[in-house]
Amino acid sequence: MTQRNIDEETTAQVTALWEREEVSLTQYATVRTGGDRPEAEDLVSRAFFAATQSWQKLADREPDAQRAWLRTTVNNMWVDNIRRAGRLQKLKPELLRLYDRDGPDPADIVLARDVLERCWKVLQTLPPVRRQVALLHFYKDASPVNIAERLGISPSGVRKHLSVACKTLREQVGYIHGDESTDTVGLQERKGETA
């Protein structure tokens, strides 16, 4: 007999085994996996692949012995999955350090540049004092108290300019990072005053 004939014969015998045992083995695997049908089906497929690889040892066994071998194989693979998952969980911090990106996603950079460009265009349309207040706040990260001192206006004037600038940016650009509401501006100013 040639290798091809053995392979065809093995394929036919394993196919017959599949037709006889697949339904009950899938039920068994589904119970073992706690109802996870996709995992159960994966275990069954892998068990039948293993049966194909070991067919010379299995071919002469009784149907009950073949069924027992398949169930044992499914159970062992299921246990291996649990052990592997536990090992991966322990390795997770190490893997994250190894494979975490060093920098931001390039797509995020492109989007951020687009938003920044639109913000810049909107800022250019603001009245001069409001534009200065917004630039000092957003680009120089200056506190409202420092802005007030620098421009010679009152802290409440800074709050008003920032509030209107943020509203204009939200209307024309959308969400502005770090500006969830105009109350944030008042809170930042109060923090700056107490510092």
| pLDDT tens digits, one per residue of 86-124 | 766 766 676 666 666 566 666 777 777 888 888 889 999
Burial zone of 75 (CB within 10 Å; 0-12 exposed, 13-18 middle, 19+ buried): middle
Q: 17-21, 40-44, 191-195 — which is least confidently predicted?
A: 191-195
Burial zone of 97 (CB within 10 Å; 0-12 exposed, 13-18 middle, 19+ buried): exposed
User: Confidence band (pLDDT; 50, 70, 90) for 193?
Assistant: very low
pLDDT of residue 190: 40
CA separation for the pair 134, 125 (Å, rounded)? 12
Task: Walk me through the domains of the chain, giving residue ranges and CATH numbers.
Answer: 3-99 (no CATH), 106-194 (1.10.10.10)
**Model pTM?**
0.44
3-state DSSP call for residue 102?
coil
pLDDT of residue 195: 36
Q: Please state whether 64 falls in left (phi above 0), alpha (psi between -120 and 50) or beta.
A: alpha
- Average pLDDT value over all residues in the chain: 80
Tell me the per-residue pLDDT of 44-82, one tens digit each, with 9 for 90 and over: 999 999 999 889 888 898 999 999 999 999 988 988 888
Residue with tokens 């510092």: 195
Task: Render the burial of 116-125: b for 16+ CB within 10 Å, e for the rest.
Answer: eeebeebbee
Average pLDDT rounded to a whole number, residues 145-168: 92
pLDDT of residue 191: 42
User: Confidence band (pLDDT; 50, 70, 90) for 175?
Assistant: low
Please check the confidence at residue 4 and state whether its pLDDT lies above 80. Answer: no
